[in-house]
Amino acid sequence: MNEPRPPLIKAPDSVWASLEAALNRGEKPRVERTRGRPPVLPLLIGLAAVIAAVGAAVAAYSWARTQKPQWEVVRVEGSPSIGSQRIGDTARIAEGQWLQTDGSSRALLNVGDIGTVQVDPNTRLRIVAARPREQRLALARGGISATVNAPPRLFFVDTASSTAVDLGCAYTMNVDDSGNGVLRVTLGWVSLEWNGRESMVPAGASCLTRRKIGPGMPVFDNATEPLKKAVQSFDFDNGGNGSVDTILNEARVRDTLTLWHLLSRVDSSQRSRVYNRMIALVPLPADLSADKILRLDRQELDRWNQELAWKW
């Protein structure tokens, strides 16, 4: 007999993006119940014990539920859902739960008492940690706008290609199905981190991220288009010396932000060119050592970063 066969549905890229992010966080699968068909008699005996314990269990569950770290979710528009359940005007979302919006939905997350996250349409995110010392969500796809007023390194957004570490700021983060993203900072600073690679992004600047590569270099939004394209080419398309030439030619005083990141990402043969361009734009403070900077001494680079930041 010919039988109707259901069509195979392709898994969306967001599944791998979420999976990869989970693996990078060292996440373990949820614990399963023990399986197998238990003997009937022990089951009946156990059932009696279970019934006797129901009252206590319900009380314990209720207590645990109230204690479990949660954020408040406010429906702004449409029908956001937690898991597969559409929410009302407000709801609570706990660690491990997914929040999803469709094309006509928006939501607002109250992140403890430290800030808010606006959730754009077509977004899927999960609450990873909702604790006083760590507030963390994983953005699988879509967009968010975060406004945080808290000590640095308390609020984190994981994606498949970076972790955005809040340093006291407001910003937007957008991620596509493949895990690539873009961060735009509107207030304060954000540190984008990935496998030892770090990009410091101040207000007015943006930074692209790519899966398997991590964050590129930050660029001010009012930089020239050739500079922006050259940075993208250098970061993600093996743009090489041609890209470096364009970046150096197009850089303004403010773009020493990008050059400071470029300094440690070019090979040694190009480093002195970048350095010379930087000191032509902003003279090196007298108490800093050019030798140490060219050797990529971390402390010296950080001190120079702090001086240059006055121009950013």
Partner 1 sequence: MSVVSLLEKNQAEEGPTPQADTIEACRRGDREAFRALYEAYKDKVYSICLYYFHGDASAAGDAAQQVFLKLIAGIARFRGDSEFSTWLYRLVVNTCTDGSRASRARARRAQAAELDRFPAADSHEDDFARAQQARRVQAALSTLPPKFRLPILLRYFEDLSYEQMASSLNCSMGTVASRLNRGHKLLARKLEGLR
Q: Which residues bind partner 1 (CB under 8 A)?
A: 1-12, 14-16, 18-19, 22-23, 27-30, 32-33, 35-37, 81, 83-85, 98, 100, 124
- Do 162 and 214 contact (CB within 8 A), yes or no? yes
Beta carbon nearer to partner 1, 82 or 170? 82
Amino acid present at 43: L
**Of the candidates 306, 218, 211, which has an alpha carbon nearest to the alpha carbon of residue 265?**
218
Q: How far is the CB of 95 from partner 1 (least distance, A)?
A: 14
d(CA 39, CA 266): 68
Give the nearest distance from C-beta 32 to partner 1 in angstroms.
Answer: 6
Nearest distance in Å: CB 5, partner 1: 4
By beta-carbon proximity to partner 1, the closer residue of 2 and 67 is 2
Measured in whole angstroms, how far is the alpha carbon of residue 273 from the centre of its chain? 33
**Nearest distance from C-beta of residue 100 to partner 1, angstroms:** 5
Please say which residue, 12 or 240, places its beta carbon nearer to partner 1.
12
CA distances from 120 to 73, 102, 103, 141, 300 (A): 13, 9, 9, 10, 40
Q: Which is nearer to partner 1, 3 or 113 (CB)?
A: 3
- Closer by beta carbon to partner 1, 28 or else 298: 28
Q: Which residues neighbour 52 within 8 Å (Cβ) at sequence distance 6 or greater?
A: none
Min separation Cβ 29 and partner 1, Å: 4
Instruction: Classify residue 87 by its DSSP letter.
Output: P
What is d(CA 27, CA 32) in angstroms, rounded to the nearest whole number?
15
